[in-house]
Every structure is written in structure tokens, then in C-alpha cells.
Amino acid sequence: MRWSKEKEKTANTFAKESLQRIFLLFATTNSTFVRNLSSSSTEFHGYEVIGVFMRNWDIKDEKGHCQNDVDAEDAEWICRRLDIPFQEVNFVKEYWNDVFTYMLEEYKAGFTPNPDILCNKNMKFSTFLQYAQDVHSTEVIATGHYARNSFGEDLEYYDPNTGARLLQGIDRWKDQTFYLSQIPQKSLQQTMFPLGDYTKDVVRKIAENAKLDRVAHKKDSTGICFIGTRNFQNFISEVAGSDHPALYSSTLFTEPFYWISGPPTQLFTEGQFECMFRFQHTHPLVPCVITTHTNNPWHRSPTSNNMVISLAEPLRAITPGQFAVLYSGDECLGSSRIIRPGPSLYTLNINDCRTRILKEREEKKSLVCTQKLKVKTKKPESLDE
């Protein structure tokens, strides 16, 4: 069975027929575990599985170390252990053009981009998926992201007429829907997330039982995929501990939103929509109201207008270039690039914060001037001859 535009299958037919081939994307070796890892066959839930490592970066760090080489070796070792065919595909050129160059241009323009979101959008669920379909006639890919698909863990509820919804993983701490918030709808319909119903601890236990000790307790990958944990902007960390009200805002402005399964109807009928917001992966969700950046209902469009997000509580360091990601219940609705934050608490003088700060500053200046004056007017003591 091949995925065919000419022959779209209904949900019932799709659920009854067995898939012939599925690609398991080895994005990082921490994301390679699938159900039934103890199986020594290439059949996983009736699928023919091929393990693939996607190489996006090949430049060594300042110590002459290339983490991609280590990850590729681990991925190949897993495939040998599970008796699964292994392949490596090189997308270094595509990554440089579609992700890395964009990141550099954003920094030059004064923005702070999120290349991981762009990598998922442009590489894993676009370039790689197209490669799998064109070269290997693959119907479905399975990745190790902690997320869930409304079509079910085996896409048993597949229905092209309704569209797929991106849902948060059961493990909310490891949930990665934030980074998937720009996934194309068509790609989501063809993607399985085998880890979505498991916590990280359970996944490690499954790996242990499958004798995959080499990677079962491997340290989680962190940071931008080609930078790792190295500090990219030192000045940001220098002010990380600051709580000045000028850093806090309760509104922000974004580009037109990308809605994974379509915009909420309330945006059309009421011009606003209540949901949950975050702009950093590990931050808690915050209640918000999103509206179109226009007061004219005849020109209101949730897909072509810039948007305004009003937060229930102010957040620190809302950064232009990052992504505003929205949720409703378990569902990740989509995301948009942040243009700028709204006026800060300091600008709005919330709770008289600006007045208080300016007053304290003047008092300090006055105290310093008084102390200097005392030093100047103090007569020197006479010295005995």
C-alpha cells in the first residue's frame, strides 16, 4: 500500500489495511525507542521498520568533537540489536540553507530565533518526509518526540476530511509539542509519535528490558542541536537574574498565526479566543486572550492579520524572534513568530513601580551628593610639628 493522492483512504479502510513500510526517524539517539523494543523482528505492530539517522550538522566543536558522529554510531548499534535495517541520510546543505542561515539573519536583525522549531518544520517534517516518500515509497514516519496525534498512536483514526490535531504528551515535563508547533498539517497526518503515551522513566525501562544499556540512560540532549549546551549569548545570561519591571510585559504582538488544524471559530465570530500560552519550552502555560490586530470586523482574519496576545499575568523577557505557542486543553493549536512585546510594567507604571524606582534613584543620588559635600567641607586636622 502506498500513500497516494489519487486514492485517499477513508478512516475505516485505513484502519483495516496493514501498512507495508514505516520509517523510524533517528533524529537523536534519545528519541529512538518504539513500542515492543524487545522484538527481534523488523515487524513492529505489523509495520516494516527502517531506522534512519538524519545528519544535519558535520562541523566539529572547539574541542574537535562531533556529537553527530556519536549519535549516528548509537543509532546504528540500536538497529543492529533490534535487527532493523539502518540508513544515514545527509541533509547538511539543506539545514544550512533552510535553518542555520535563517538563524544568522535573525540575529543580525536583532531578533532571537528558535532554530529547533524551524528544524522540525523545514527538515524533519518536510525535507526528510519527502525523501522517505520519494526514495523509499514510505507511507508514515515515526519520531521520538514526546507528543501525541489525534489520529491515534497507530493512525487508526486517520481521516483526511477532519485533519489531525497535535496533542501534548502524557509526560508534560518532556512534552515537545512546543517545538512541533509549526508542523505542516499533511505531515502530521503521516506521523506517529510512539513515545507520546509514556513517561521518560518508562521509556528508559523499556530500553533496559530490550538490553539497550548503551543508550538506556544516555543523558538527554539539550540546547540548539548544533550548539548543544554552549552559551550562545553571554549577555543574556548576565541579566538572567534581573527582576526589573522593564523586563515584564503582559501583551505581545505576533505575525499571522500558523494554525495546525485551522483557526478557532471564535476568532471569526467573536474576534477573540481564550487559550493558554508559552514562549519557552519549559515555562508553565499561562492563560491568555488572542485577538486580531484590527478593530474592523470586516478585515479581521486569523490567518492573514497580525495578532495581539493579552496575558493573564506578566512574563519576563518576551523576546522578538521567539515563537508564541498556543494550547487549548491537550491540543497544541499552532504558533507564530513574536514581533515585539507590549509596553512593560515599568512603562505603564503598574503599582507605581516606575514612580517608586525613580524616587529611590533620586534618594540615592541625593545621599551621594550629601556625602560628597561633607567630605569637601570637612577641615583637615592640624598636624603637630
Residue tagged active-site, from 66, 79, 119, 369: 119
Contacts of 287 (CB under 8 A, 6+ apart): 274, 275, 276, 277, 311, 312
Q: d(Cα 179, Cα 366) in Å, to the nearest integer? A: 51
Catalytic residue among 225, 288, 332, 353: 225
Identify the CA nearest to 63 among candidates 222, 220, 228, 224: 228
In the numeric block, the cell 572547539 is attached to 62
In sequence order, which residues have a C-beta less than 8 Å from that of residue 82 and are 6 or more positions away? 37, 39, 40, 51, 210
315 within 8 A of 279, measured Cβ to Cβ: yes
Q: Is 109 buried (19+), middle (13-18) or exposed (0-12) by CB count in 10 A?
A: exposed
Does 369 participate in catalysis according to the annotation? no
> Helix (H, G, I), strand (E, B), or coil: what is residue 195?
coil
Does the annotation count 225 as an active-site position? yes
Give the start-end residues of each E strand in the chain. 22-26, 43-44, 47-55, 86-90, 140-142, 147-149, 166-168, 191-192, 248-254, 258-259, 272-278, 286-292, 307-316, 323-328, 331-341
User: How far apart, in Å, are the Cα atoms of 231 and each of 122, 235, 242?
Assistant: 25, 10, 18
DSSP string, 351-363: GGHHHHHHHHHHH
| Alpha carbons 257 and 335: distance in angstroms, whole number | 6
Residues with catalytic function: 119, 225
